[in-house]
Structures are given as C-alpha cells and as structure tokens.
Amino acid sequence: MPDAIAPNPPSMTDPAPPMPTVPLRPARLWPAWLLCVIMLIAMVLTVTPSIANRPRFFLMMGAPFLLGLVFSFWVLLFSRLRWKERLLLAFAGLASPAIAGMLAVHEDALRTAMFIYGVPMAMFLTTTGLAAWNSSTLRARRTAVLILLGWLSFGLVRNNGFIGDYRPELVWRWSPVHEQTLPPLPASAAVETAETSAATSSAAQQTPAEWPQYRGPAGDGTAFGGPDSLDWTAQKPAIIWQIDVGPAWSSFAFSHGRLLTQEQRGDAEYISCYSADSGQLLWSHADTARFVEVVSGAGPRSTPAVQGGRVFAVGGRGLFSCLNETDGKVLWQHDFVAEYDASIPMWGFSGSPIVVDNLVILFTGGAGDKGLAAFDCTSGALVWSLESAGMNYTTPRPLTLAGQRCLLFGDSTGLRGIEPGTGKVLFQHKPAGWETAPMVDIQQLSPDSLLVALGDGVGMQRLDATVTAGNWTFKARWSTKRLRPSFNDSVIHEGAIYGFNQAVFSCIDAETGERRWQGGRYGFGQAVLLPESDCILVAAENGDAVLLKTGSSLQELGRIPLLNDKTWNHPIVVGNRAYLRNGRTAVCLDLTGQPPQTAAR
C-alpha cells in the first residue's frame, strides 16, 4: 500500500485565513429623528409671541438641555452603533463646542446663542450624517467631522443680543462694533458762556422742565402741546439732527433746551447732556461702571429725572447720582450695592427716579427695609425706605386715587399705595394672576381706576378702588390677554388703551377690556401719545418711526426708517419735535416736516 500523501505543512509566509466579518448594523435612527422634530417644535414655540415670555424663556433654555441630554443617551445606549462609534461621537459632541468656544468671540451673548442653537444643530447634523452614511464603515468619522464643522461656524459671527421675541442678533465677526468706534466723552464740554449758564441755571431752578422724567410730566407717555394735526402721507417729518450715542436703553429727559440721557462707552457709564436744538454735547459725567447681560447688551437702563436745577440718574449697577443741571458737577451719590447690600436685577437697575415734593424716589433693591427709598433732593440724605424684595424694573408713580394722593408701586407682594412724604403704606393689594418682577408701570384709567400689567407678556387688568374710613378695597373690573405687554408701556386716549400685545400693536376698550383692533407689526417697540392731533408716535423695534391715528381701526399715517437697529427706548415729544434714540443713534425729528432752519422749537 503506497504511503499516504501527507499534507504540506503550513508555510510561515502563507496569509492567515480571513477573520469572519461582523455585518455593519444600521443605526436605529427613528428616535433621533423624533427628538429632532420635538426640538424644532420647541424652537418655533420660543419665538412665538402669542406665548407668554416666561414660558418661552424657560423653553428656550430648557429644551436644548433636556433634549440634548436625551439625545446623548440615545447615542450611547440605543443607537445600535458599534461602541467605538458611540465613543467617537460622544467625544465629538464634547470636544467640538469646546474647540469652537476657544476660537469664537469671547462674549456671553454668543456663548448663550451657541448653547441655544448649537445643541439643536449638533443633534440635526448627527442624525443627518448617520442617515447619509448609514451603510458606510466611516459613518461615525464623517459625522464627527460634520459636527465639528457645524460648531466651528460660530467662529464666523458675533451676537449683539436678542430682540424681543428672543431671536439672536447675529452679525459677521469682522463687522465693526459700534461702541468701539465711539471716543470717550469729555468730562465737561463747557460750550456755554458763564452768562448763558447762569441764566439757564436760574431758569432751571425756577421753572419746571418740559419733559422732566421717564414717560413725561405725568409719567403716562402723553405729550401735550404737540401739533394740532399730522399726516406723514402728505408731509413727511424732517430730520433736524442725528448723532452717535453709546449703548443704553435710557430715554431722554428734556429741560430748558437740554436733553439728559445715559450711555455706555467702554468701562465708563455716562450721564450726558445734549443741546436739544443742535445735538451738540453740552456736558457729560462718567463713572467707572459697566453692566452687560446677554439679551440686552451693555449700558444703563434707566432714564434721568430733572427738577430744580438737579439731574438724578441711576446706572445699571445701582450707582445713583445727583448732578448740577448746568455743568454736570456731582452734588451727591449713593451706591446701592455697597451701601444697602442690593442685588443687581437680572436685567440691571431699570426703574427710573421720580421727584415728589423735594424727594427723589426709586427702587433701590437693598436688603431688609432698603428696597424702595426716598432721598432728600438737596442733601441726598435718606428720608424713608421700605422693604421690596425680588427683582423690579418699574418706576413708582404719584397720583390721586379715589380722592387720596399716594405713590403707587408694584413689586413681588403686589400693589402698594404709599404716602410720598413719609413712606407710610396706605394699602396693599395683590391682583389675581399677579406675577413677580414687575416690568410695566402702573397707570391711572380714571379717578378711581388703575391699569396694571400682570407680568411679562401675561396680560392686563383694570382695578377699581374705593376707600371708606381709611379702608381700601379693590375690585377687578376685567382682566384680558388681548393686550399682553412685555416691557412696553401703553397709552390711554378717549376711552381706549393702545399698546403692544407682545409684538403686535393693539387697541382695547378701557371700560370692558374687549379688543377694538389689532394689526400693527412693530415688534417690541414703544409709543407716545399726541392728544392734540389724536395721533400716536411709535418707535418700532427695528428703529422705524411710525405715525398712527387713534380711533376705531388701525390707521397708519406714515412710516419712515430712522434708527435702523434694535430700539427699545421710549421716544419723547416736546412741541413739534420728537427725540428718539437707541443704543447707537439719537435723532431729532420735526413732526410737521419743517426744514431745520425754520422748524419750530
């Protein structure tokens, strides 16, 4: 029998038999698509003005956090990806925003936008990347590169803040920053002669200012003494002057030919005085202070008050100053944070000072009983103070309610009526539906009725007051969600209330609260009433100046582009002239359209 043929022994150079390959499992993508759709719905809701601002704000911040967390769990536990793919995508999800954060502009507003929009973007890019390359062994690597490129796109932009419906103001990174183009203001421009200064100072001490405080003489946004008739479709307004100003949400006070306002330039917070006729700087006072937050940006929020030759102004961080109206010399100051242990509100100190009987009164936000305070105008000494806890962005209002003179103020406890001279609390009432952190000032509808905003974008209520033997009672005549201001004040004229129902200008009946009309798309702007001509001047959020006719329907009498940027500042009107500003520009407008050389003062 022949010998069996032995098999050849394996050679050391022969290739090893191929290892069995594990088939590439497709990723389970339907949960990711579902999360992306939910995120898209949440993002749409955050910019829907028909929803109150507080839920929209929490949705804007909460949805990326919660849905991003759930999406991460899907990647790591339920995606059916190989473990090395899961870890690679997890690493890309953490490293990409960190790299982008180092390369992008270092500002809180952009970082906030990166969180709000970067997380949804990363979710969408991860899902679409895996879907496009689901059958490829390189799907995780390609998706990781896509995620990185998406995050790096934030390095191309800056964020100037957010507009009223919470959309970011993204601009190219290399576009100029307006504030950085402005020079520091001189400590005192000293353009007046000694004779002129003395004469004006004497007039300032003896005669009241024409627009002495936030929202005018009565604090209700009404400008008496304006033109008898206006129609910009027939005669457009004329620009008298236009100047650059620093960022701030302050309005103007007007006194004896002077405009008083506040602005930020670098690390200095300014109280500025400009000529109402020419826009020329008359004087300025600077303090080293800077308040900035991600929605509104930098700068003061309050509006100066002026009376008796003195200017009173509070900065965004609570530095309260009294200056000489003529030259800006400091007469006295208080620092609410240092002296009263005040907490700076989220949006900064935004309430404005008012002057009542030689007392200047404002929200101080201090600890204990130092929340609302009255100071002697001459000496700056504290006369009285009351507890007022929590954040507040409103201005106290002196008025006569149910026959009794009182100071109306709203805070987390509701409404309070206070004796202006002593600080004695006359009454306290918390309306149904009242929310904390008041943002809109109380207004008077009739001798015994008040108009109150219930919260940020919540609605409004009419309260009827009665007082018997010192006992106050309040009854809600109506509550409505058909006028839901955020930080936008309303004006009242001939039985109608005109204002912002979030981003839409509307009119409701003062007696019933029922809507008369709605339709002006002016964003989150501000308005002033011109009663002699039955008109309303609106400063739209985009900087347009709009003239409306009051009445039973929306009637627009003209609209002109003016400030060309986000405008939340209240306009003022003195005579035929309107003065408008935002964080970049201030403009003097002759409402009747007269050219500068003949325009009436």
Domains and CATH numbers, the chain: 30-168 (no CATH), 198-590 (2.130.10.10)
**pLDDT tops 60 at residue 531:** yes
pLDDT tier at 188 (50, 70, 90 boundaries)?
A: low
**pLDDT tops 90 at residue 2:** no
Average pLDDT, the chain: 91
Residues 36 and 124: their CA atoms lie apart, in Å, by 6
Residues 40 and 496: their CA atoms lie apart, in Å, by 39
Q: What is the reported pLDDT for 191?
A: 45
- 206: CB partners within 8 A, 6+ apart: none
Q: Are 255 and 306 in contact (CB under 8 A)?
A: yes
Question: What is the percent of the chain with per-residue pLDDT over 90, rounded to a whole number?
Answer: 84
Q: Are 548 and 505 in contact (CB under 8 A)?
A: yes
Q: What is the reported pLDDT for 198?
A: 46
Q: Where do runs of H (alpha helix) occur along 47-169?
A: 53-73, 83-103, 108-132, 139-152
The CB-based long-range contact list for 396-399 (8 Å cut-off, 24+ gap) reads 396/351, 396/354, 396/361, 396/362, 396/363, 396/372, 397/219, 397/354, 397/441, 397/442, 397/443, 397/444, 398/219, 398/354, 398/356, 399/444
The stretch 521-526 carries a mean pLDDT of 94
Q: What is the reported pLDDT for 1?
A: 44
Q: Are 503 and 144 in contact (CB under 8 A)?
A: no
Q: Are 552 and 516 in contact (CB under 8 A)?
A: yes
Closest CA to 493 of 249, 234, 226: 226
**pLDDT tops 90 at residue 208:** no
30 — phi, psi (to 5°)? -60, -35
Residues 236 and 559: their CA atoms lie apart, in Å, by 9
pLDDT tier at 8 (50, 70, 90 boundaries)?
A: low
**pLDDT tops 80 at residue 434:** yes
Q: Is 236 buried (19+), middle (13-18) or exposed (0-12) by CB count in 10 A?
A: middle
- 252: CB partners within 8 A, 6+ apart: 211, 259, 260, 261, 303, 572, 579, 581
Q: Are 472 and 427 in contact (CB under 8 A)?
A: yes
Q: H-helix or E-strand containing 197?
A: helix 194-206
Q: What is the reported pLDDT for 9?
A: 58
- 447: CB partners within 8 A, 6+ apart: 400, 401, 402, 403
pTM comes to 0.90
Residues 147 and 131: their CA atoms lie apart, in Å, by 14
**pLDDT tops 70 at residue 11:** no
Q: How far is CA 255 from CA 249, 273, 322, 355, in A?
A: 20, 10, 15, 14
- 449: CB partners within 8 A, 6+ apart: 462, 463, 464, 465, 477
- 473: CB partners within 8 A, 6+ apart: 465, 466, 467
The stretch 63-86 carries a mean pLDDT of 96
pLDDT tier at 240 (50, 70, 90 boundaries)?
A: very high
Neighbours of 511 (CB within 10 A): 14
**pLDDT tops 80 at residue 17:** no
pLDDT tier at 55 (50, 70, 90 boundaries)?
A: confident
Distance of CA 591 to the CA centre of its chain: 27
Give me 446's structure tokens: 């009739």
The stretch 268-282 carries a mean pLDDT of 97
pLDDT tier at 196 (50, 70, 90 boundaries)?
A: very low
- pLDDT per residue over 367-381, tens digit each? 999 999 999 999 999
The b-or-e profile of 531-569 (16+ CB within 10 A means b, else e) is bebbbbbbbbbbbbbbbbebeeeeebbbbeebbeebbbb
Q: What is the reported pLDDT for 203?
A: 58
The stretch 545-556 carries a mean pLDDT of 96
**pLDDT tops 60 at residue 600:** no
229 — phi, psi (to 5°)? -150, 145
pLDDT tier at 20 (50, 70, 90 boundaries)?
A: low
* Cα angle: 184, vertex 188, 194; to 5 degrees: 160
Closest CA to 300 of 332, 260, 341: 260
The stretch 109-114 carries a mean pLDDT of 94
Question: What is the percent of the chain with per-residue pLDDT over 70, rounded to a whole number?
Answer: 92
End-to-end CA distance of the chain: give it in Å, rounded.
132
Q: Are 497 and 505 in contact (CB under 8 A)?
A: no
- pLDDT per residue over 209-233, tens digit each? 899 999 999 999 999 998 999 999 9
Q: SS3 for 139?
A: helix
Lowest mean pLDDT across 276-285, 320-329, 451-460: 451-460
The stretch 467-481 carries a mean pLDDT of 94
**pLDDT tops 90 at residue 62:** yes
Q: H-helix or E-strand containing 38?
A: helix 30-46
**pLDDT tops 50 at residue 599:** no
Q: Are 266 and 179 in contact (CB under 8 A)?
A: yes
Distance of CA 537 to the CA centre of its chain: 20
- pLDDT per residue over 310-332, tens digit each? 999 999 999 999 999 999 999 99
Q: How far is CA 30 from CA 26, 34, 172, 280, in A?
A: 12, 6, 36, 64
Q: Are 43 and 120 in contact (CB under 8 A)?
A: yes
**pLDDT tops 50 at residue 601:** no
Residues 333 and 264: their CA atoms lie apart, in Å, by 18
The stretch 127-139 carries a mean pLDDT of 95
